[in-house]
Amino acid sequence: MTKRNFLKNEILKALSEKLKPYDYKLKKSDDSFIQKTEFGWNMFSTTFLVRSEGWNIRPGLLIRFNVVEDLFHQVSNFEKKYHKGTPTLGTSIENLNINGLEARFDLFEEAQIDRVASELFKLFKSVGTPFFEKYNNLPAVDHQINDDNTVLTGFIFKGTKGLILAKLLGRKDFGILQEKYQHYYESFSDGFYLPEYLRVKELLSSNDR
């Protein structure tokens, strides 16, 4: 085992023990910790970015609502094997722009393992837990996504996920959002994602027939 792999394994092992009482289980295939919920799952992710001497670790927070993702994947471009793994919203903790918060950690030496694992766990408790509690229902997610915020979806999925949420919640401005997002995808990335959006739009319209 290389030194780099050893360092990663030790961090994941330490976090796994710390998160076990919170019902988060390690998903080693993507270095994340998942808690199953009645609506899908919550995920505390640890992205390991390669550095010359080891790693830079970027923690993130993701939430999946099955009712949203199951609709989306009826027409998405994702291969079927990925359908159960997509989040409805998510972001790295550093993108939340919390003043004074350290949200990336270097890991170059074995002596750093305990400190880094402890700091990641502190972020889980101080940022992750409130995040998962805040966005544990569709209205809260809808409000965030459909109020022009792309931090929690990224630019690619803002319109598709936003429109699905608006439909599920019966928003009165659904038609306005539908046209707004169509204009958005017509100009975003030279229209590359427009066909997928149009399929979502057609799917949601067909559910009214």
Residue where one domain finishes, among candidates 102, 134, 166: 134
* Tokens, residue 204: 């949601």
User: Do 120 and 154 share a domain, yes or no?
Assistant: no
Confidence of residue 52 (pLDDT cuts 50, 70, 90): confident
CA 83 to chain centre: 14
| Structural domains counted in the chain | 2
Residue range of the domain that includes 81: 3-134
User: Do 154 and 178 share a domain, yes or no?
Assistant: yes
User: Do 71 and 27 share a domain, yes or no?
Assistant: yes
The pTM for the full model equals: 0.94
pLDDT tens track for 107-136: 999 999 999 999 999 999 999 999 999 999
The Cβ of residue 16 has, within 10 Å, a number of other Cβ atoms equal to: 15
Residue where one domain finishes, among candidates 134, 151, 172: 134
User: Do 24 and 111 share a domain, yes or no?
Assistant: yes
Closest of 177, 97, 169, 164 to residue 137, by C-alpha: 169
For 72-99, the DSSP string reads HTTT-SS-GGGGGG--SEEEEGGGG--T
* Tokens, residue 92: 């790295």
Instruction: Output the CA torsion 184→193→144→59 (10° steps).
Output: -140
User: Do 199 and 160 share a domain, yes or no?
Assistant: yes
According to DSSP H, which parts of 51-193 are helical? 66-72, 113-123, 129-134, 138-145, 154-168, 174-187
**Cβ contacts of 138 within 8 Å, gap of 6 or more:** 65, 67, 68, 165, 168, 169
User: Do 14 and 117 share a domain, yes or no?
Assistant: yes
User: Do 32 and 123 share a domain, yes or no?
Assistant: yes
Provide the residue type at 204 as one letter: L
User: Do 128 and 143 share a domain, yes or no?
Assistant: no
Overall average pLDDT of the 177-187 stretch: 96
User: Do 115 and 149 share a domain, yes or no?
Assistant: no
pLDDT at 207 over 90: no
What is the pLDDT, as a whole number, of residue 139? 96
CB-facing half-sphere around the CA of 135: CA atoms within 13 A: 26
Overall average pLDDT of the 148-167 stretch: 90
Angle at 70 between CA 64 and CA 76, to 5 degrees: 105
